[in-house]
A and B are shown apart, each in its own frame.
Chain A
């Protein structure tokens, strides 16, 4: 058993407050008082009339205490925030602990809020200026300056990892003075602020050194302590964090790849926190009094693309017929209980730029009529490629969709591919249909719509000058209301033209020991732990 938490040296006011709120027992209070040198009748008196002391006690939240052990939903493959794994869920959670970004998202409202930058503005069509927070230091004590921002962004571009496409329009990064950064772009780029929520800052002096990322110096609410791949990663509170010290003294991130073992570890108290529990396991945990479950609609959704360069998907009527053939409501109730909901647009409801569309209601007759109109009265044969493990119930969903399509005469072969092969074929457009989940990492429609649906991106063979125009305009705009309108238009075109079928948005779940406080469920599935508190131990 890992001790879930640890009693740390407390102040008198902490002790008394915990006692009056019922967090600690009288025995723990007296022991704590003794540790502070308060014994005998004085200790007895405090225990009997805690309100006298409590009235004096200021709420102190600066003393980090306790340890939280959590298990990731998938193995942690890297901790480099600029490299190949930068947008993987597990990596994102860990780098958010020990690093920080220029701009953050308010976990409750989703609004952009200042982090390492205190303000930002577009100073011209093609340049953005950030003013940095003064007096922030990295965990080794060196001061945070504009040079670190410049080096980090340049590293993202050099490494050509999954974040690089977000910044392709960047021309130069300037650091005119230690607290000012200017990002110049080749074309107007309205997404600089949202993309900055994924730009983690490391110290310019180290990030390009060999071995730096095996033991990185961070700047976030927790300091990096150690990482043993496939085993565990440890971080400790950074009491000097600019946003205030985290409440936890230590976070241990354990790797438990087997879902049954992970859930057992949660039930026995070996771990305190985990997330992304599969729908078949969720009901069992809901009945457990010792656990709390938070859910929230996420940034992740399922989609089934059609290859717009291949017959018969060059015809919108065929694509629409495939959509009308599916009874999505039944799929959601029978397969995705608690973990998914019917999608209303090509991007989830939680994402900036979401605009609800007319649903494709289950109508096999209409589907067959559309096929006949398109010249396929007897249906056709086709394939769908997918990579197992993409999301919950992926196999069951594929099988269900195939049987619905079969009912309108479309015979679909399932091509289950190993990840490496699947990516190769995906990029090469070597598929008829492609089924997968996707996560809108930035929470902004640009990440998905503009990046994936332009003719230039050519990710699914679909090409539509009207859509290109809207998306290019959306990228250039820096006015949020205007961007929202562009994305609404893009949602409508993609949905009505059935570039893909967008059946289900996923619901994130977070499960933890009852008594843990201060946790905020977020749609990004990248929860933060600096406000989380564990109950003091009796």
Chain B
């Protein structure tokens, strides 16, 4: 187990280094220049060159890269060119806001899709199954910017039940979390339905029924557990996506999350901020995947690591 963890950590560091390097190069290859952005359309080329030198951007790429890597190893992430504050604390507070949103969306997604998926599998081929299919298909295909604005129009403007945008209390969390949960509900419901249908035809389920277990016990103890692995995998991947990809929902609802920060930083060509935001998102993704892999062992003793 320990050896497995060490190997995994080593691999994770390798992935992080790869992500760092790609980001470092990609943002510098993209046309556009932080110095020109800081000076604005009114600047002359001389002004821009002077600022580039001051920011250390006039040096060659290998020199910048070497300095950057050594800073990262020492956990020195530098200051944002744009916000002029330490990058790490800025990114951290934004990751926290996004994590709150992603967690709420995951809870809603799981709480809604399990009952729907189970009901659809047990009532396969009925009208109910058809309705649930439609709902999950809609959840997957409705664009979040449209859904978000519709929720604002209905719940904030029409019924005035919830605030339209902002991030100060629980009431602000509801609409963005629902918007973010919809695609998750779509995917999970279909996955749970098909997973259960597969498992319900397995021999061990027939055996469990034959030995006289109640339908509920068959479902809970035998069928469910065995279809959880793909579900956990997808939830893990989706959570990772939510962390980095909530930018549309964050923009529609004015949520100060890391997705918006990253997009703003890219628009400002704020190299340090972009690099650290991606580092954080990558690290979260890796960590969630590690948890998912470890959970396999708990769910299925056959793949428990020796």
Interface residues of A (CB under 8 A from B): 1, 75, 77-78, 80, 83-84, 87, 160-162, 164-165, 211, 213-214, 228-232, 254-258, 260-262, 264-265, 267-268, 270, 418-421, 423-424, 426-428, 436, 451, 457
User: Which residue of chain A lies nearest to B32 when distances are taken between CB atoms in the complex?
Assistant: A420
Contact of B31 among A231, A257, A421 (CB under 8 A): A421
Shortest C-beta distance, B33 to chain A (Å), equals 6
- Give the 5 A-B residue pairs with the shortest CB-CB distance, closest first: A420-B32, A84-B38, A230-B256, A162-B40, A261-B165
21 contacts between A and B (CB under 8 A): A84-B37, A84-B40, A84-B82, A162-B42, A164-B47, A165-B42, A228-B256, A256-B164, A256-B166, A257-B251, A261-B165, A264-B157, A270-B156, A270-B166, A419-B37, A419-B267, A420-B32, A420-B36, A420-B269, A421-B31, A426-B41
A214 touches B40 (CB 8 A): no
Tell whether, in the assembled complex, residue A160 and residue B47 are in contact, meaning their CB atoms are under 8 Å apart: yes
B203 proximity list for chain A (CB < 8 A): none
Contact B39 A160 (CB under 8 A): yes
CB–CB B50/A260 < 8 A: no
Q: Are A427 and B261 in contact, with the CB atoms below 8 A?
A: no
CB distance from A8 to the nearest CB of B (A): 22
Set of chain B residues within 8 Å of A265, measured between Cβ atoms: 156, 163-165
Nearest residue (CB) in A for B253 is: A261
Whether B165 and A262, one on each chain, are in contact in the complex, defined by CB atoms closer than 8 angstroms, is: yes
Our pick among A1, A211, A427, A436 for the contact of B36 (Cβ within 8 Å) is A427
Distance to closest chain A CB from B100 (angstroms) = 13
CB neighbours (8 Å) of A228 from chain B are 256
How far is B171's CA from A1's CA once the two chains are assembled, in angstroms? 10
Complex Cα distance, B44 from A81, in Å, reads 20
Residues of chain A within 8 A of B83, CB atoms compared: 78, 229
Shortest Cβ gap from A258 to chain B (Å) = 5
How many residues of chain B are within 8 Å of chain A by beta carbon? 49
B36 lies within 8 A of A424 (CB): yes
Q: A77-B264, A214-B85 are in contact. Are A258 and B256 (CB under 8 A)?
A: no
In the complex, which residues of chain B have a beta carbon less than 8 angstroms from the beta carbon of A457? 44
Q: Is there a chain A Cβ closer than 8 Å to B57's Cβ?
A: no
- Tell me if A427 and B48 are in contact (CB < 8 A): yes
Q: Are A427 and B38 in contact (CB under 8 A)?
A: no
**Given A1-B163, A160-B47, A420-B37, do A264 and B85 touch, yes or no (CB 8 Å)?**
no
On whether A424 and B43 interact (CB within 8 A), knowing A258-B251, A261-B164, A264-B153, the answer reads: no
Question: Are the C-beta atoms of A162 and B85 separated by less than 8 Å?
Answer: no
Interface pair A420/B254, CB less than 8 Å apart? no
For residue A118, give the distance in angstroms from its CB to the closest CB of chain B.
Answer: 31
Whether B166 contacts A254 by the Cβ 8 Å rule is: yes
Q: How far is the CA of A268 from the CA of B159 in the complex (A)?
A: 10
Closest to B252 in A: A258
Q: Are B166 and A230 in contact (CB under 8 A)?
A: no
Q: Which residue of A lies closest to B254 (CB)?
A: A256
Asked if A160 and B33 make an inter-chain contact with CB atoms under 8 angstroms apart, the answer reads no
Asked if B70 is an interface residue, CB under 8 A from chain A, the answer is: no
With A256-B165, A264-B153, A423-B32 already in contact, 19 other A-B pairs whose C-beta atoms are closer than 8 Å: A1-B163, A84-B82, A160-B47, A162-B39, A165-B44, A213-B84, A231-B166, A254-B254, A258-B254, A264-B165, A267-B157, A268-B157, A268-B164, A418-B32, A420-B30, A420-B31, A420-B36, A423-B37, A423-B41
Q: Are B84 and A264 in contact (CB under 8 A)?
A: no
Measured CB to CB, the closest approach of chain B to A307, in angstroms, equals 15
B25 vs chain A, min Cβ distance (A):
17
A75 contacts B82, C-beta separation under 8 Å: no
Residues of A within 8 A of B261 (CB): 229-230
* A77, B166: Cβ atoms closer than 8 Å: no
B165 touches A421 (CB 8 A): no
Which residue of chain B has its CB nearest to the CB of A212? B84
Contacting residues, chain A, for B268 (C-beta < 8 A): 77
State A428–B44 Cα separation when bound (angstroms): 9
Given contacts A164-B47, A229-B256, contact A424 B39 (CB under 8 A): no
A214 to B45 Cα, complex, angstroms: 30
B153 CB contact (under 8 Å) in A255, A260, A426? A260
Tell me how far the C-beta of B226 lies from the nearest C-beta in chain A, rounded to whole angstroms.
Answer: 43
Q: Is the CB of B167 closer than 8 A to any CB of chain A?
A: yes
Contact of A260 among B38, B48, B152, B257 (CB under 8 A): B152
Can you name the residue of chain B whose Cβ is closest to the Cβ of A1? B163
From A83, A258, A268, A457, residue with most partner B Cβ within 10 Å: A258
Whose C-beta in chain A lies nearest to the C-beta of B97? Answer: A231
- Cβ of B51 within 8 Å of any chain A Cβ, yes or no, is yes
B160 on interface, CB distance cutoff 8 Å: yes
A81–chain B nearest beta-carbon distance, Å: 13
Asked if B190 is at the interface (CB within 8 A of a chain A CB), the reply is no
Shortest beta-carbon distance, B187 to chain A, in Å? 25
- Cβ contact within 8 Å between B40 and A423: yes
Chain B: which residue is nearest A456 at the CB level?
A: B44
B193 interface residue (CB < 8 Å to A): no
Among residues of B, the one whose C-beta sits closest to the C-beta of A438 is B41
What is the CA–CA distance of A28 and B94 in the complex, to the nearest angstrom?
43
